[in-house]
Structure formats: structure tokens, C-alpha cells
Structure 1
Amino acid sequence: MSGVLSSVDARTKLVGQNRLEILLFHLGGSQYFAINVFKVQEVMRLPRLTVLPDCHPVVRGVTHLRGQTVPVVDLRQAIQMGPLNVKPEDATIIVTEYNMTVQAFLVSGVDRIVNMNWNEILPPPGGAGRNHYLTAITRIDNRIVEIIDVEKVLAEIAPYDTKLSDDVYEVDVLDRVRGKKILIVDDSRVALDQMRQVLEPMGLEVVEVRNGLDAYQLLMHWKETGMDIRDELTMVITDAEMPEMDGYMLTTEIRRDPELRELTVVLHTSLSGNFNKAMVQKVGCDAFLSKFAPHLMATEIQRLLREKFLA
């Protein structure tokens, strides 16, 4: 399976086409689960693990891969379905990179990679249980596929501290933009909450939506109602991977619109830095931010605000 995973060059061909590849896997039953292939480094049989004392209950242990110590997370247990009951020799790990860290997820088996259009990916239904751990659902072979909110899983294992000291904030910049809107776009509740904690102390009016299509429709609505978007909207901060319309396609649509093309657009994502540098150039984002680095977010956002309003 590891040889089937796309290279960065191959992945970039999907950008601007509103397409993605998902890796299907099982968690001890017939139900399909998935994550975006962009995040996957390799798939392999479960190696020997070293159990660490006092680690989080869903972390089965660590293994050593190519000079790195990699935690192995029981993904079934992490999404509150109970521990994965599988013999070690029958188990598989999916090695991933999120937020510039590498971790592996223990699963019972990997099925295949499927190439899809983002408009085939839908927001999850409301309700309790593991729906809280889904960013989206789709249907393949007439079966529901549940796409895991890995950011929520990782945030629960190692919570992020988003509180910043007052000296991070630049008074002259923030006095100029106080009360203006900033649009944040992400399908992860965890990500939206963390961005709010960084942005609201700036005095900005934070407007949030859960996918690129909703963001685009909101921008169209603001245009139709006569809002001075160039002045009232400071910028758009968008995730890359979202149901219905991804962040790359949203950026492409903004750049195509004569009234919106000058908007500052920032890509905010847990994908790898090298990949996103290529994407920023391809779709025309102004910058990208890796999740979740609150100090870097505050610094970069204020730099962009200074360029736009105080230059």
C-alpha cells in the first residue's frame, strides 16, 4: 500500500479541481472510515511497540521509524468506540503528518484509495457519539464512509494552549482594524474555536463558516447587499480540506471575481509546509499558516493587516 500513495507532485494536480483522494480503512468491523491521503506518509504492518508509562490511554505505545519516535494511537478507542481488538500480527498502522508532527493510527485493515470530488463529501449529521469525531461523510459502493476529524483526536490527546500574552498584540495595527470582519473557514470545530481565541482579542469581528461553499455564498451575499468588502473584510482564513468546496477551490473562485480578487486569503492547514508552499503559489494565496501555532498566527495575521491598512 505504501507504494500506492501519491507523491507531492501528483497531489498538486488535484488542486484547483476541487478533488481529493481518501484512504479507506476499517476499525474492527465492516464500517468504512477514511482520512485524506494528503496527510498519509505510509501504511505498514504494526511494528513492535514500546509502552510508555503515564501516556494517554488511547496511545498504545511508540515505535521508531526512520530516526523518529512515533506515537501509535488506537483510533477506534480515540473516537469512543472502545479499544481495537485485533491480534498484533493482523493490525496495520497509518503513518500521518499533522501540524508538523508525525503520528501513526492503529487500524484493523486498509482497503484502498479513492479519488473523489469535494462536492461528493458532505458535512456529518448532528448528534452524539462518534459523529463528534467526524468532519464529513460520503458514500462509496452504496455504503456510508465516515471521514475522521483527526485534529479533534489529536487535540484531545495533547491539548493546545492558545492563550497569548498581551505583548504579542500590536496596538497601532489593531486600533486601525478594530470592529472589522475576518472570515474563518474550517470544517473542524476544534480549529474554529482555536482561531477565535487568537483573533477575538484583536478586536476583530470573527465570522465563521464550516466549508468553502458556504464561505463563497456568504461573500456573494455580501456583494449583493452592497457591503464594501475591500474595507470591511480584513481577510479570509481558510482550511484546505472541507466538504463541498475545498480551500484551494475557494481561493481560485475569489481570484476569478473582479470584486474579490484583491482580498487577502490565508491558507490555514495541518498539511505539510512544503506541500502548502507549492499550493500557495499555484492558487494565489497570500500566505499559509500551519495548525496550531497561535503565536505564529497572531504574528502573521498582524503583518498582513499592517500591509493592507497601514502601508
Structure 2
Amino acid sequence: MSGILDSVNQRTQLVGQNRLELLLFRLNSRQRFGINVFKVREVLQCPPLTSIPKLNALVRGVAHIRGQTISVIDLAMATGGKPIEDLQNGFIVIAEYNRSVQGFLVGSVERIINTNWDAIMPPPKGAGSASYLTAVTEVEGELIEILDVEKILNEISPLNTDVSKEITDNVDVGTNTEKIIFIADDSSVARNQVKKALSTLGLEIEMAKNGLEALNRLKEIASETGDVTDRVALIVSDIEMPEMDGYTLTAEIKNTPELHRLQVILHTSLSGVFNQAMVSKVGADDFIAKFHPDELAGAVQKWLLTDLKQ
């Protein structure tokens, strides 16, 4: 176990085309879950937790770790299960999502596996909108569930998706009002957050659940027009997505003649350990850390106007 805990920080810098590493853990049962190591800052035995009045019921307390106070969320409770009772033998996965650091209380931590995004599949259709899964994969004949952490965090502390009046009063997208803004994100919560923020620009929105679905749809549009930019103004894409991640999607767009003029904004919760070199390598036009509606709307407007000048 100590080898796993010691190696997490050393391996969080991994970014490869359509590759990822998953830290496997359990909650209260035999079911195993996974979290992208790239989002993990540290894993440690659960320290003493301090209870604070009026905390959300899913927050078991706060921990003081390396000079920082971190809220600790019980992932078992957050996904509708029973609370993790044995805190002394539990672990905290400290991760960074959406510009903030959280601690996720889990029952046990197992190991790190190396896999490809094309081995990560969307959750079963029968899971329904209430499911907390964003993807699944198979390891040694066993299903590994990847949780929609953005949905969990939004239920605990909903993000503001309203674009400020200063931005909306000065919206200028030129002649691009007849074009589509394409959104690719595997989290239904994140897709709707982006859609709500960008709807203030008065543009048509089309969405995809992952990079492969987005790429196929963009190629379909391009086959009708000859160049995708005749219909699509730009794409706002998450990085972590099943079947095809945002880096690979960007590279495919930039390497496909009928798609390569499309502006790509990578919009991701991978904020703290973001690899600028990788974004440049695949040819993305911009990167924005989730989630600030004014920054997102401002960036989209900027690239729409830039496109008009080209």
C-alpha cells in the first residue's frame, strides 16, 4: 500500500494521446471505482476530521493537510450509499476539480492501472439520469466504475452558470450568429453548465457526450458542406472523455482537411496540473479551466471574432 501512496504524486504528470492512468479504490462494497491519476494530488490515511456546523451532510468534516484546510466528502454517501464508518482505516484521495481542492473519503485504495481512453466506455443506457457514473471500463474481467465527480460537487455546492451583465451587454459575435457552437463533455452536468453560459451569446448549441461522438458528427457536417466551419463556429471540449479524449479529438480535428480550420477550446477540470505543452502539441487554440462563465463566454466571443478576421 505504501508504494501506491508514494507513487501517486510522481505519476500525476502523465498526459498522453488517448492514454490515462486510473487509481482504483473501493467504498463500502466489493465494487471498484476509478479516478484519473492526473487529477490526484495525494492519497493518505484518513486524518482526524473536524466537524463544522452547517456543513453539507455529504461532507464528513474538514482536514488540515500541509497547511491547507480541505473539505472531506464521503463518496459512498454522495452516490446514495451508506456512510463509510471505519474512518481510521479509510483513505482520503485529495484531488483538484474546477479550480478547488477536495478530499474524497473512500474505504480502501488498491493500485494504479494504465489504460487507454478507447477502453473507457460510456455508462450503460439503462443507468438513467440519476446515475453518478460518467464512464465504465473492464479490468481483469471486472467492471470498474468512474464517477461523475462534477455532478457530485455541483449537488454539494452548485456552480453559478450566469454570465455577468457586463459580458451580455457587450456581446459581439459578428456574423457568426447563424453558426453552431459545439460542446463535447461526458458529464451531463458540465454540458448543461456550458450550454447555459453560452446560450447568452445567442448562438445555436449542439452537444456530444464524448470525443468520438463529436468527431463523427463534425465529419458528418463537413460532408454536407465541404468545410465544417461553414456550419460550426468552434468547439468547446472537455479533455477527459470515454472512447476518445479531448487531446485526441483536437489532434484529429487539426489533422483532418475538412475540419482543421475549426477553433478548439479545451475546457476542463484538470486545472492544477494542466500540461500546457500537451495542449500546444495537439494544436488546441485555447485552454480554460472549469468553470467560470464569464471567462468561457469571453473566450468564445474572442475566438469567434478572431475567426472573422482570418
Q: State the TM-score, normalizing by the size of structure 2.
A: 0.94
CA contact (8 A) 1:122 1:138 kept: yes
Question: Deviation digits for residues 29-82 of structure 1, max 9, x if unmatched?
Answer: 111111111111111100011101000001000011122110000000001112
* 2:96–2:272 CA contact under 8 A, matched in 1: no
Matched, 1:68 2:33: no
Q: How much does 1:273 deviate?
A: 4.7
The answer on whether the counterparts of 2:58 and 2:74 sit within 8 Å (CA) in structure 1 is yes
Letter of the 1:139 counterpart: E
Shift of the 45–31 alpha-carbon distance from structure 1 to 2, 3 Å rule, reads: same
Shift of 1:199: 1.0
3-state SS of paired residue (2:29): coil
> Within 2, Cα distance between the matches of 1:129 and 1:80?
14
Moved more, 127-136 or 51-60: 127-136
Contact 2:45 2:88 in 1 (8 A): yes
State the alpha-carbon separation in 1 of the partners of residues 284 and 10 from structure 2. Answer: 22
Q: Secondary structure at the match of 1:152?
A: helix
What is the match of residue 58 of structure 1?
58
Q: How far apart are the structure 2 equivalents of 1:274 and 1:34?
A: 18
Worse-superposed segment, 254-263 or 40-49: 254-263
Q: What letter is aligned with 2:14?
A: R
SS across alignment from 1:222: helix
Which residue of 2 is the match for residue 191 of structure 1? 190
Comparing 220-229 with 140-149, greater Cα deviation is found at: 220-229
SS in 2 for 1:132: coil
1:255 positional shift: 1.2
1:158 correspondence with 2:157: yes
Task: Name the amino acid aligned to 1:169.
Answer: T
1:11 aligned to 2:11? Answer: no
For residue 265 of structure 1, what is the amino acid of its counterpart?
V
| TM-score normalised according to structure 1 size | 0.93
Does structure 2 retain, via aligned residues, the 8 Å contact 1:80–1:130?
no
Q: How does 1:1-311 map to 2 (within 5 A)?
A: 1-5=4-8, 7=10, 10-12=13-15, 14=16, 16=17, 18-85=18-85, 87-127=86-126, 132-169=131-168, 171=170, 173-226=172-225, 228-310=227-309
Q: CA RMSD of the aligned region, Å?
A: 1.9
Offset at residue 233 of structure 1 (A): 1.0
Q: Report the CA distance shift for 1:206/1:8 in structure 2 as closer, same or farther (over 3 A).
A: farther
What SS does structure 1 have at the residue aligned with 2:254? helix
What's the offset of the Cα at 1:310? 4.7
CA offset at residue 164 of structure 1?
2.2
Cα 1:20/1:52, change in 2 over 3 Å: same
Q: Is the 8 A contact 1:186 1:239 kept in 2?
A: yes
Q: Per the alignment, do residues 218 and 25 of structure 1 end up closer, same or farther by CA in structure 2, a change over 3 Å counting?
A: same
Tell whether the 8 Å contact from 2:118 to 2:244 is kept in structure 1 after alignment.
yes
The amino acid that maps onto 1:66 is R
Q: State the number of aligned residues.
A: 307
User: What is the one-letter code of the residue matched to 1:197?
Assistant: K
Measured after TM superposition, the shift of residue 279 of structure 1 is 2.4
Identity of aligned residues (%): 44
Deviation at 1:132?
1.5
Distance 1:128 1:8 in 2: 32
Moved more, 161-170 or 295-304: 161-170
Distance 1:50 1:262, change over 3 A: same
Task: Sort the Cα spacing of 1:172 and 1:209 in 2 relative to 1 into closer, same or farther, 3 A.
Answer: closer
Whole-angstrom CA distance in 2 between matches of 1:57 and 1:9: 30
Shift of 1:7: 3.9
What is the CA deviation profile of residues 212-247 of structure 1, one whole-angstrom value per residue up to 9, with x for unaligned ones? 001111111112222542232110111001110000
Deviation at 1:165, TM superposition (A): 3.3
Measured in 1, the distance between the counterparts of 2:21 and 2:113 equals 5
Query: What's the offset of the Cα at 1:129?
Result: 7.8
